[in-house]
């Protein structure tokens, strides 16, 4: 488990993944609205992105439940994007977001498993 200390805060891979993925989902929701006028993309992107950033920030501030929340959100998003990929049969954007969700979830689970050793 690698950590980077900055002003007393400890940033690790899982925290960075949660915050980074949160930013990606926020931007993705906004882009979905701009390109396809999809209010569902906008709302789900804003909610899930905000929750991921909140969870990562909570972990950064020492709240041990932060990564657990981020893992749960990422896991739900994997399922949502799999269902969307099956429905549309188009790799973009659902397939790419499955990969991003799995990468984020993997980093978060890696950090969670390291916390209990």
Q: What would the pLDDT profile of 4-63 be if each residue is shown by its tens digit?
A: 555 557 789 999 999 999 999 999 999 999 999 999 999 999 999 999 999 999 999 999
| Cα angle value 68/69/75 (rounded, 5°) | 90
Token pair of 101 as six digits: 């969700």
What pLDDT shows up at residue 36?
93
Token pair of 64 as six digits: 């041990």
pTM to 2 decimals?
A: 0.89
pLDDT digits (tens, 9 = 90+) for 87-105: 999 999 899 999 999 999 9
List the beta bridge partners of residue 6: 9
What pLDDT shows up at residue 57?
97
CB atoms within 10 A of CB 48: 22
Q: How far apart are CA 63 and CA 72, in angstroms?
A: 16
Q: Return the H-helix or E-strand segment holding 8.
A: none
Q: Return the H-helix or E-strand segment holding 68.
A: helix 66-88
Structural contact between residues 1 and 17, judged by C-beta atoms closer than 8 angstroms: no
């Amino acid at each position: 488990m690698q950590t980077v200390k900055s002003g007393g805060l400890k940033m690790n891979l899982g925290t960075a993944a949660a915050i980074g993925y949160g930013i990606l989902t926020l931007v993705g929701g906004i882009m979905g609205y701009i390109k396809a006028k999809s209010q569902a993309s906008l709302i789900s992107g804003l909610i899930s992105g905000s929750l991921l950033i909140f969870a990562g920030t909570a972990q950064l501030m020492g709240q041990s439940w932060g990564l657990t929340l981020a893992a749960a959100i990422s896991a739900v998003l994997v399922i949502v994007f799999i269902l969307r990929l099956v429905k549309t049969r188009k790799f973009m954007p659902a397939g790419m977001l499955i990969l991003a969700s799995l990468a984020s979830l993997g980093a978060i689970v890696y950090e969670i498993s390291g916390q209990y050793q």
